[in-house]
Amino acid sequence: MDALARQRRLIDRVARTLQLAAGRVARFETHISWVLVAGGDAYKFKKALTLPFVDCSTLAARRFYCREECRLNSRLAPDLYRGVVAVGGDPASPTIGAAGTPREYAVWMRAFEQDALWSVRLADGLLGGDEVDRLAALLAAFHRRAPRAPPGASWGTAAMVAATFAATMAGLESALADDGAQGAERVQAASTVLRECAAQLFSGLPALASARRTQGMVRECHGDLHCGNILTRDGEVQAFDCIEFDPALRWIDTIDDLAFACMDLACRGSPGLAARLLSGYLECSGDHAGLAMLRLYRMHRALVRARVMLLRARQPRLSDAARAGCLAQGRSYLDFARRCAHAGPVALVAMHGFSGSGKTTVARLLVELLGAVQLRSDVERKRLPAAAPGLGRQYGAAATRRTYARLGTLARTVLGAGWPAVVDAACLRADQRTRLRRLAAALGVPFFIVDVRAGCAAMLARIAARGRQGDDASDADAAVLDMQLRSAEPLASSELAHTIVVDANTGIDREQLRQACAPLLAALARQNASGQPVADGFQAAHIDPAHTTTHAGP
């Protein structure tokens, strides 16, 4: 009997012991672990395996990685991870926590319901934009605190990124070759396309990777941020089950960490939420420069998930339906990787409207509709060197010029990386709008103005409500609105040809906004070879919820 078979028999006996004490025991399995859930507790065992990316063949190694898993996951989900426990006692009825020589080790976790997982919430149509916003803020704060890679380490270098990609491709090709009669054909087709796309994306990698390392953006991250490793529990969003077994897979660029979650949301049929996560993260972190690396990392993450699904399909004791589901998911991720390897359609959108008109709410909806990045003046103004106190200074001419200059610089960065940009600012002066229009012309991308309108009573009510809540980036009050009303320069007749008017006096309807934006969507569709008015690679791969495997965690 080999080591894995002996370990499986031990886990079976532990499960029986738990069942006697706690009643029902649920059991989950991945290609590298088993999890037993009994009552409010979960115990995760690492399989005695040696794989290209992990070696848990010895008891000492499994204990080490259990400890690492607890240490690392306590950063983002401290209440889920309770420690490392040993299995001991009578070999015929081994017990968790028993005295004596340890026979196995497990990560002790707090159990949770499977419907808390984002993979399940997405399939059930329950995942909300507010949850995505909380994840964006959580990740930005996590990355800000995470330790930076030491100068002499190879993590995050162009050579390391290329080697990781090559290893993923090699593993994927091996997995595809075993994928039934069509495997060899798929290997050849996929490898040719993906390697050609990767070669294009790798062309600027050395300089980009070097700059990112110098800027301190290679950090000890999560490393496995797909939707099966994110949950919402008691209203709190948490990420768990990070990479513990290979430092090179978690000491990565922060934008690579984010790319995994963005890719998986889009691939599971929610491209709008993927765009919302990306835009929200950039707003919180200010790391718009990372967009230059995002397409490569997102494609790689799709390949990683394709490989995992194909490996999972080989697990013993898997039903035919479950195996078919894994294979279907693997192919969907692979198809997505091929699509998101290419830059998509872009446009520059300038919002227009007074404080309290609802333009920021409309801009957020445009993020999901277009797959865009929102550039908010209220946020970017505060990233600039501090102005003198007082709203008059913050919204004065000098501060406003600096803010719009920054918005133009960021818009150029976003568009150059292959994403539509929504400049969320009042744009009440003709010269502000002209500079943005000229930027779009210089870059050869469509330019639109979205004019958001509301009555004075509605605007004042919104400003007052925002002030009472105290949780918005905008500091504009009634005095600022009055200043805007007196100094605004109306849209010229030449601007109206590319202006979309949105009446937000009584609220904003998502479907009405889509209809109003038909000219903008048509302009994007004309750029897109597939004819889909969706930005960049945020098309959904349409993973069938029926083929979504249950997470092996508690």
Segment 267-305, tens digit of pLDDT: 999 999 999 999 999 999 999 999 999 999 999 999 999
Q: Report the candidate in 371, 354, 366 with the shortest Cα–Cα distance to residue 480.
A: 354
If residue 25 lies in a helix (H) or strand (E), which one and from where to where? strand 25-29
Residue with tokens 């270098």: 157
**Residue 529: pLDDT over 90:** no
**Residue 352: pLDDT over 90:** yes
d(CA 52, CA 168): 10
Percent of the chain with pLDDT over 90: 69
Residue ranges of domains in the chain, CATH in brackets:
3-111 (no CATH), 118-342+539-547 (3.90.1200.10), 348-527 (3.40.50.300)
Mean pLDDT, rounded, of the chain: 89
- The mean pLDDT of 132-159, rounded to a whole number, is 96
- The mean pLDDT of 459-478, rounded to a whole number, is 87
- The mean pLDDT of 239-263, rounded to a whole number, is 97
d(CA 22, CA 399): 64
Compute and round to an integer the Cα radius of gyration of the chain: 26
Q: How does strand 25-29 pair with strand 33-38?
A: antiparallel
User: Would you state the pLDDT for residue 389?
Assistant: 52
User: Would you state the pLDDT for residue 532?
Assistant: 40
**Residue 531: pLDDT over 50:** no
The residue type at 219: R
User: Would you state the pLDDT for residue 447?
Assistant: 98
User: Would you state the pLDDT for residue 496?
Assistant: 96
User: SS3 for 51?
Assistant: strand
User: Would you state the pLDDT for residue 548?
Assistant: 37
**Residue 366: pLDDT over 90:** yes
Residue with tokens 């978690």: 250
User: Which tops the pLDDT comparison, 197 or 36?
Assistant: 36
Percent of the chain with pLDDT over 70: 90
Poorest-pLDDT segment among 18-22, 65-69, 513-517, 530-534: 530-534
Reported as a pLDDT band with limits 50, 70 and 90, residue 543 is very low
Reported as a pLDDT band with limits 50, 70 and 90, residue 45 is very high
Q: Where are the strands (E) in 383-519, listed by range?
A: 421-424, 447-453, 499-503
Total H helices, total E strands in the chain: 22, 17
The residue type at 503: D
Q: What's the CA angle centered on 367, arms 241 and 258, to 5 degrees?
A: 25
User: Would you state the pLDDT for residue 536?
Assistant: 40
Q: What's the DSSP call for residue 117?
A: B
d(CA 340, CA 540): 10
User: Would you state the pLDDT for residue 212?
Assistant: 96
d(CA 370, CA 535): 6
**Cβ–Cβ < 8 Å for 123, 227:** no
d(CA 254, CA 249): 12
Poorest-pLDDT segment among 12-16, 340-344, 549-553: 549-553
**Residue 214: pLDDT over 70:** yes
pTM over 0.85: yes
- The mean pLDDT of 507-529, rounded to a whole number, is 89
User: Would you state the pLDDT for residue 176?
Assistant: 75
Taking only the tens place, the pLDDT of each residue in 75-123 is: 999 999 999 999 999 888 999 998 889 999 999 999 999 999 999 999 9
Contacts of 211 (CB under 8 A, 6+ apart): 289
Poorest-pLDDT segment among 152-161, 375-384, 397-406, 467-476: 467-476
Q: How does strand 50-51 pair with strand 54-55?
A: antiparallel
Taking only the tens place, the pLDDT of each residue in 403-444 is: 999 999 999 999 999 999 999 999 999 999 999 999 999 999
- The mean pLDDT of 466-479, rounded to a whole number, is 84
Q: What's the CA angle centered on 510, arms 533 and 268, to 5 degrees?
A: 55
d(CA 529, CA 344): 9
User: Would you state the pLDDT for residue 547?
Assistant: 35
Q: Report the candidate in 294, 236, 228, 231 with the shortest Cα–Cα distance to residue 264.
A: 228
